[in-house]
Structure 1
Amino acid sequence: MRKDYRRSLLWLIVYSLLSWPLLAQNVQISGIELVGEEIIVHYNLQDSNPTNEYSLDLYASNDNFSAPLKRVKGDIGNEIKPGIDKKVIWRLRDELGGYSGKIALEIRGKVFTPIVKIQEFNVDKKYKRGKSYPLSWKPGNTNPINIELFKGTQRISGEVNHPNSGSSLLSIPADAVKGDDYRIKITDTKNPTGIVYTQNFMVVPKLPLLIKVIGPLAIVGGAVVVLGGGGGESAGTTANTELPYPAFPSGN
């Protein structure tokens, strides 16, 4: 597989150049690494205006570049600033399974003019199901927005026509399935192409499974004792902890 990806390097550079026709802006894939089951794409993003930010996606030839790849992280997505040796890490097996053969990649993008600019949302944090978390953003316009929670391509929950006021609550449903492919989608209700995604984040159970199974614990004299549960002596029964009196010596 490594040999096939190296052969595709020329394709990758050509596609990346064609995807950005503006002279003042240029994105070029400069190198590719195959590390384990991950592909690391290095690219340079140049702009005569260094304050611009971009929305970038990575595409692959396996589906004729029809949909952006999802299992990516690094310098990809929204609010990407110009710079040299940017990196995108693509988890190939998670996205395509046991794929083998040649594949070409393409970076597409545009200047980022967000309907919202999400602030201080930590995608490395583990979010617990059944809990709510503050979500804040900087509005880009006054149009109402839809705020939706997705797991992969499946919509889990959401709120429609929320005022673009800069704050809301992210509520993780109590029955949400554990996973690391959750993300938030925010859509401009008056402009369907105005969409902002967060990167993927993890949702975990509210309580560790071990605690749920064992039940309440108490520490008595340095020992851990399980409270409650069936079996054993009935409630109210007191164990005899007194030592027996010694027997009288028998007569001769």
Structure 2
Amino acid sequence: MRQWLLWMLVWGSLIPLANAQHVQIEEIEKMANGDSLRITYELISPLGDLGYEVTLFARLDTGLKQLTSLTGEFGEEIGPGVHEVVWNAKQELGRYRGKIALEVRALPNFYFITPESGQLFMQGKAYTISWYGKNSDKDALTMTLYRDDEPIDTIATVDASNSYTWRVPRGLDSGEGYRIRVSGTDLSNVDAYTSSFSIQNKKYLKYIIPGAVVATGGVIWIILAQNLPKPFEDIE
């Protein structure tokens, strides 16, 4: 066991992650029982308080092994900062006597970048739905349109991407309560909904009145439900 501990101290590793965040092993300390190690690591992230799924691995002479005999701060919803994990090496590896390199990996939890909550979508126009985290850029994801809790239509299946440009179909009912569900396979285990948004099927038009007509001059905006002759013009 003492030989294992020496090799672990020498081979403690730094694992770079996407978007400049990284997790670094700060210290590996032998516990009093001689069978376990206390591993201190720091998770640094530019994404604020977003939670991560943290897993630990050992690189052995026989290959890479995910560690399971663990207690402490690992698993889902681990935030940036300094954390501790205790690993029972004897229970995990038995009589193994080779080299060991420890790795701590952090995968960002899944979240949507767009759309924003309450965003207004116009029929016939294209909008980018984007997301990040949990191997979503490596999985085949199904996008389904919902209104409240009822599925309306399957939008698309997106393969190995973090975004999709959706053209809002004409004919959808106007109103609030729309969401998009994104679900994946066991590769990512993604199953999440966007924030609620609204869909509008009316055109917004503007009418420009000369300044002489209005005491203060300038522009008056009028919302109409149909196309009108000039001087009305569509707002894109």
TM-score interval w.r.t. the shorter chain? 0.3 to 0.5
Structure with the greater alpha carbon radius of gyration: 1
TM-score for both structures, normalised by structure 2: 0.44
